[in-house]
């Protein structure tokens, strides 16, 4: 399937930045500052209760699920602000709130209440979309010459936090280059202990143009008036999350793809064996672990994602392989406002035969080296190593007119960065050109603009090992 660049998301990206810092402990309700200074090393607080305020839709149990302290806990005063700030950030990581404030109130001796005041987002969003069908903005702008034939228009809508349990109902209807319909729902918790969740998704799409082969590490396209490709997918998912940082997921998905006979003639290996249709099921297990200051734009912490999947089993096995995919990232602070990051991604498919449609490796979705956006490397295995140094330049809020007061302060954060990437894509037959089966290197500098609603705009000037230079625009985090 083709990766879509969402131009309509750019207006959200320019609405963006990390939320404001937390509030300090309420000095009017707590011991005097002088007393805290004297008693800090030996004094403690016993948590009488956790009080939640501001949640009009979100259920209290969902908020308490993300907080790592409970009534009866004892906390040293010298650690209090650090612990409360970590819990504030965790609540922000749920993507349910624009901001979270904390406070300590109602002191009686060593006992007090911990108060979290949450600012809920707009949970119902619907807007017209203008999407590019190409892998990234530069490919559309330069190689496809800004062709409006390669544009999708439609409506995208989602209802977050539908029942107050952090569940989501979403749909996407598009016309143009791709005619597409997507419907899905996720419910993260279905049990009283808030550990087990379920979801489902369904999608249908069809195209009059198809990327039927790659030559010299460039996609080649074929177009005609009739529809060349039809795809359907139906899936169910199960989630288990006992702790806060670790999540287990299982997905069972049925895929069906049909292409016109002309595609099978142009490339008999597109679906393999000269076929014009395939049906297969895929079972995937995923493990996520993340401990970071922000799950949307992390600057300090670490993350890991591991996946293993089996495609093709039972009567639906026209395409079959075992895939292993691993990604780890480490983020740390060098100095005030200066941050480093390194990530390593690797993927391998084990199979006796892999058709072209299932052999995509580097260059698709987010699996690319910065500076090689115009190229693809197809094959059965690859790895990508990314290193980034960031420096915060600006961190401010802009007042928006007309909108409600709670949403009127638009936080914007701007960071400069320098980066270097390396990678390797393996193809048994050297499928598509000189970039296969060799080490690849890129480097560059750029600017990130980040904001709330989990958005990020990236402007990057990169150079690759072939000496090619260029300015690239992206609308997602690159690590």
CA distance 209 to 176: 11
- Tokens of residue 123, six digits: 């949970």
Residue 8 has pLDDT above 70, yes or no: no
- Tokens of residue 325, six digits: 């995919």
Q: How many Cα atoms sit within 13 Å of 231 on the Cβ side?
A: 20
pLDDT band at 432 (very low <50, low <70, confident <90, very high): low
- What is the distance of C-alpha 14 from the center of its chain? 18
Encode pLDDT of 65-122 as tens digits.
999 999 999 999 999 999 999 999 999 999 999 889 999 999 998 999 999 999 999 8
**Bigger pLDDT: 451 vs 386:** 386
Whole-prediction pTM: 0.85
Encode pLDDT of 225-275 as tens digits.
889 999 999 999 999 999 899 999 999 999 999 999 999 999 999 999 999
Q: How many Cα atoms sit within 13 Å of 407 on the Cβ side?
A: 13
Q: Give the residue carrying structure tokens 């395409």.
A: 319
CA distance 476 to 256: 29
Encode pLDDT of 63-80 as tens digits.
999 999 999 999 999 999
Encode pLDDT of 295-315 as tens digits.
889 999 999 999 999 999 888
* Count of CB atoms situated within 10 Å of the CB of 431: 23
Residue 7 has pLDDT above 70, yes or no: no
- The per-residue pLDDT of the chain, averaged, comes to 87
Residue 141 has pLDDT above 90, yes or no: no
Encode pLDDT of 286-299 as tens digits.
999 999 998 889 99
- Tokens of residue 194, six digits: 């808030």
The pLDDT value given to residue 192? 93
pLDDT band at 151 (very low <50, low <70, confident <90, very high): confident
The pLDDT value given to residue 281? 97
The pLDDT value given to residue 453? 63
pLDDT band at 32 (very low <50, low <70, confident <90, very high): very low
The pLDDT value given to residue 476? 77
Residue 4 has pLDDT above 60, yes or no: no
Share of the chain above pLDDT 70, in %: 89
CA distance 67 to 55: 15
- Rounded to the nearest 5°, which phi and psi values hold at 20? -70, 165
Mean pLDDT over 379-403 rounds to: 91
Encode pLDDT of 178-232 as tens digits.
899 999 999 999 999 999 999 999 999 999 999 999 988 999 999 988 899 999 9
């Amino acid at each position: 399937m083709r990766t879509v660049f969402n131009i309509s998301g750019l207006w959200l990206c320019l609405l963006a930045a990390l939320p404001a810092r937390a509030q300090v402990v309420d000095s009017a309700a707590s011991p005097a500052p002088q007393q805290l200074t004297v008693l800090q090393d030996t004094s403690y607080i016993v948590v009488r209760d956790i009080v939640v305020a501001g949640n009009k839709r979100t259920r209290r149990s969902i908020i308490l699920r993300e907080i790592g302290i409970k009534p009866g806990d004892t906390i040293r005063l010298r650690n209090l602000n650090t612990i409360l700030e970590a819990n504030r950030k965790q609540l922000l990581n749920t993507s349910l709130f624009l901001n979270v404030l904390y406070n300590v109130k109602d002191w009686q001796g060593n006992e007090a209440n911990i108060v979290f005041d949450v600012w809920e987002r707009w949970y119902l969003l619907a807007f017209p979309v203008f999407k590019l069908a190409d892998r990234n903005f530069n490919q559309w702008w330069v190689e496809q010459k800004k062709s409006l034939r390669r544009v999708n228009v439609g409506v995208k809508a989602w209802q977050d936090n539908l029942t107050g349990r952090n569940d989501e109902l979403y749909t996407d209807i598009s016309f143009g280059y791709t005619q597409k319909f997507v419907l899905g729902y996720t419910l993260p918790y279905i049990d009283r202990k808030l550990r087990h969740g379920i979801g489902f998704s369904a999608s249908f799409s069809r195209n009059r143009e198809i990327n039927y082969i790659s030559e010299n590490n460039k996609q080649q396209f074929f177009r005609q008036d009739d529809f060349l490709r039809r795809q359907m997918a139906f899936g169910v998912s199960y989630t288990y999350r006992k702790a806060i940082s670790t999540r287990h997921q299982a997905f069972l998905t049925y895929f069906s793809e049909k292409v016109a006979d002309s595609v099978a003639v142009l490339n008999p290996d597109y679906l393999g064996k000269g076929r014009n249709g395939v049906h297969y099921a895929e079972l995937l297990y995923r493990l996520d672990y993340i401990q970071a200051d922000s799950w949307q734009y992390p600057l300090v912490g670490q993350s890991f994602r591991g996946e293993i999947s089996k495609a093709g089993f039972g009567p639906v096995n026209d395409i079959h392989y075992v895939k292993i995919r691993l990604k780890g990232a480490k983020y740390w602070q060098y100095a005030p406002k200066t941050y480093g990051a390194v990530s390593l991604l690797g993927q391998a498919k084990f199979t006796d035969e892999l058709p072209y449609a299932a052999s995509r490796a580097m260059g698709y979705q987010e699996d690319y080296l910065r500076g090689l956006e115009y190229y693809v490397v197809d094959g059965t295995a690859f790895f990508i190593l990314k290193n980034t140094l960031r420096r915060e330049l600006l961190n401010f809020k802009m007042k928006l007119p007309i909108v409600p007061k709670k949403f009127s302060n638009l936080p914007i954060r701007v960071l400069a960065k320098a980066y270097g990437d390396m990678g390797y894509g393996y193809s048994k037959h050297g499928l598509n050109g000189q970039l296969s089966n060799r080490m690849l290197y890129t480097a560059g500098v750029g600017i990130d603009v980040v904001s709330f609603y989990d958005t990020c705009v990236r402007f990057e000037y990169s150079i690759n090992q072939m000496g090619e230079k260029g300015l690239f625009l992206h609308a997602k985090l690159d690590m």
